[in-house]
Amino acid sequence: MITALWIMIALAALLGMILGYASIRFRVEGNPLAEKIDAVLPQTQCGQCGYPGCKPYADAIAKGEADINLCPPGGEEGIHKLAELLGVEFKPFGEDAQPKPKAVAFIDEQICIGCTLCIQACPVDAIAGAAKQMHTIITSECTGCELCVPPCPVDCISMLPIEEKLTNWKWRYPVFELRQTS
């Protein structure tokens, strides 16, 4: 009886030590879940979720503070991916957070006064220009976050939806649904 007890205690201690060692030895830097979530997010850094960027939102989701349906640029598919990653139910977008077609910002260069306010607002440094000099959007790097639109004092920034061109055209999903016709 006593022997068995001792064995159990010794075993528990040994396993505990192994576990403790493993947690130090194989420690993962940072928060791996938040990083995985961050990888799913579209990185527009638009703040529509109410957090100052994709990473903070990812951290908030990882901590369970934020819902998964707050990222309109990620689309419904983004929610599906998050739901799958976190093992939770899919949640549709709320009324005020509906996804919009993808767009890029465009500066009307004739109106721009070169105030640099939009440059300060751009989360990905996709606006080139300097004080009192005309600014322009680096289209290939613009995430379409719209953060540059409100600060502009002369309203010279507009969002242009990305048009379907030959170079970005996609084959459609074949629609052949069999349904009751009567």
What is the C-alpha to C-alpha distance for residues 51 and 123, in angstroms, rounded to an integer? 13
| The binder of other proteins chosen from 31, 36, 42, 103 (CB under 8 A) | 42
User: Does 44 interact with other proteins (rule: CB under 8 A)?
Assistant: yes
Q: Rg for the chain (alpha carbons), in Å?
A: 25
List binders of other proteins among 95-114 (CB under 8 A). Answer: 108-114
Interface region with other proteins, contact rule CB under 8 A, candidates 1-9, 26-34, 87-95, 135-143 = 135-143
Site track 59-78 with other proteins (rule: CB under 8 A), x = hit: --------------------
What minimum distance in Å lies between the beta carbon of 19 and other proteins?
Answer: 34
SS3 78: helix
68/135 with CB nearer other proteins: 135
SS3 105: strand
The structure tokens 């951290």 sit at 59
User: Does 153 interact with other proteins (rule: CB under 8 A)?
Assistant: no
* Cβ pair 111, 126 in contact under 8 A: no
User: Does 54 interact with other proteins (rule: CB under 8 A)?
Assistant: yes
Residue 56 exposed, middle or buried by CB count within 10 Å (0-12, 13-18, 19+)? middle
User: Does 16 interact with other proteins (rule: CB under 8 A)?
Assistant: no
**Considering Cα of 71, then 77, then 79, then 82, what sign does the dihedral take?**
negative
Q: Which two tokens stand for residue 5?
A: 């007890």
What minimum distance in Å lies between the beta carbon of 36 and other proteins?
Answer: 13
Residues of this chain that bind other proteins (CB under 8 A): 38, 41-45, 53-55, 108-114, 119, 123-130, 132-134, 136, 141, 143, 164-166, 168-174, 176, 178-181
